[in-house]
Chain A
Amino acid sequence: MLAQARLLSKVERRSPEDIQSIVARACAGDEAAFHAIFNRYSKPVLSFIYHLLSDRSRAEELMQETFVRAYRNLGTMRADTQLSTWLFGIARNVVREAVKEKYKEQRKVSLDEPVSQGLEDAQPLQDERLITSELQAAIQKALSGLTEDYRIVFVLKVLKEKSYEEISAITGASVGKLKTDLHRARLEMKKKLQPYLNAS
């Protein structure tokens, strides 16, 4: 327990050398090391996937899939890559594949179609302390209505507050494209949420 707590604190401190050593240990089969990584990053990854899919149970499944893939590919992670960026990159690919698979099964639909069709959470989240549930649902719906590229950059920039460089590393898109996509995503969100924004 103490060793695990120490590992977790090392991951949280985010010293590159510490994280590298934890990754190296996880790579060598040290379960406690990988558990520490899971504990630190599972929630951010889960929330990222949830924001993209608006489906909690699916998001939980895909978060777990992300970490399984991460474990298998730990050895391929570059020494100069940030662990969180790498994990988010895997998560993004996992989500893409899941969406592709789902639409292949249901019908022939382009990836750019709103994800909301069939994937929205049937049970919206309960907590109403910060914003009304109505606004929460409206934002969720508006987010689901964005195209994939717009949604990803909006989630990573506005909700997860990542830098453009990190987002570029995660998505593979250029910073210029990301800025353009974000700007357009914000305009679309604003248009859909105008009544709520005016009210507040």
Chain B
Amino acid sequence: MKSNEFFGDEFSAMLEDYHYGELDDVTAARVMAHLRGCNQCSSMLAGLEQENNIYQAYADTTERNLEITPAMWENVRSRIAEVAPDSPGLFARLRNSLSSMGAAVLPTSPVMRQVAFAAVIIVISVTGTLLAVKYFQSNQSPGQEAHNSAPQPAPAPQGAPKPNNPQDKTVIAGNSEPNHEEPAPKKRPEKNIDKNQFVPVNNVNETHPKLTPDEMALDQRIQKLRLEYVEAIDLLNAKIDKRKSKLDPKLVAVFNRNLTIVNETIAATRKAYESNPRDAELAQYMLTAYSKKVELLQQIDTAIGGE
């Protein structure tokens, strides 16, 4: 053991962690071994324990004298009777169900949550884009190359394709879901469309006549879930829109950046899935992207609400 390993303020802080059982096993063992041979440090620990005993006695005395009276509950009860609790709502249920399905659980610190969320979205975005590129390229025939230069969304060779919906905005207030209400292939130049490449939301069977009934049923379930997410997103957008002025502009910028990424991810994964509705993994990517957007909007809503 190094002679200056346990020294000064750093060791004093480490002793506190040791006392509270917050050290990892290896470090705790080292501290314990050091304490056996160091009277000075042992005295420090004894002093720490003595202080804690006094503080605990203070806490116990305080709490012993604090009383919860029936009147307090009656007061709370009369106030909550005026307002019904916010029901979990669609997005909370979706979030909780994803959590229980083993989706990534974000750290609870708000700063770390944002960092972790941004990292997850970047991973999803890159993965979704690569898959979209792969499927579009594999489905493309030589005669369809002209399609790539069409103004409507063909996937770019690199980076996430732009959302189809020209009204899709990345500012928090107007952040509608890309292609939420897109009509059938009307938006794309008919002559450039390969019906096997783009699958309109409601017309899977027309463009993929080989889908089995089971596959169709699965696709319908997936689309239903997607629409539930869309509904949740619209609800959240409406909520946020009313109160967005309360947000710190720096936080708005962070959220806008994340929303841009998640919108692009939704567009890319949705197109990839539409081109191959049999692929459950693509469906999962798409739905995960939607759920992340719901989660992000929920964070914004919470940030505005303050709790």
Residues of A participating in the B interface, judged by any CB pair closer than 8 Å: 24, 26-29, 31, 34-35, 38-39, 42-43, 46-47, 50-51, 56, 59-60, 63-64, 67-69, 71-76, 78-81, 85, 89-90, 93, 125-131, 135-136, 139-140, 157-161, 163-164, 168-169, 172-174, 179-180, 182-183, 186, 189-190, 193, 196-197, 200
Contact = CB atoms under 8 A, between A and B. Distances in A.
Contacts of B16: 179, 182-183, 186
Contacts of B84: 29
A60 B67 CA distance: 9
B95 interface: yes
B111 interface: yes
B72 A174 contact: no
Contacts, number: 159
Contacts of A139: 54-55, 58
Contact of B61 (A127, A163, A179, A182): A127
Contacts of A161: 20
For the complex of A and B, list the 3 residue pairs with the smallest distance between their C-beta atoms, beginning with the closest.
A75-B86, A79-B96, A159-B59
B86 A76 contact: yes
A196 B17 CA distance: 24
A190 B100 CA distance: 45
Nearest to B113: A172
Interface of B: 9, 12-13, 16-17, 20, 22, 47, 50-52, 54-66, 68, 72-73, 75-77, 79-80, 83-89, 92, 95-96, 99-100, 105, 108-112, 298, 302, 305-307
Contacts of A63: 72
A190 B63 CA distance: 22
Given A68-B76, A76-B92, A159-B55, A56 B66 contact: yes
B85 A130 contact: no
B34 to A, nearest CB: 19
A180 B76 CA distance: 37
Contacts of B20: 157, 161
15 contacts: A24-B88, A27-B85, A27-B88, A35-B73, A35-B77, A93-B306, A158-B59, A159-B58, A160-B59, A161-B20, A174-B112, A179-B17, A196-B54, A197-B47, A197-B54
A50 B62 contact: yes
A67 B76 CA distance: 7
Contacts of B92: 75-76
B65 A126 contact: yes
Given A43-B63, A179-B17, A183-B12, A69 B54 contact: no
Given A72-B83, A136-B61, 5 more contacts: A64-B79, A89-B307, A125-B65, A131-B57, A180-B13
Given A69-B307, A81-B108, A75 B99 contact: no
Contact of A34 (B22, B47, B80): B80
A51 B86 contact: no
Contact of A42 (B54, B72, B89): B72
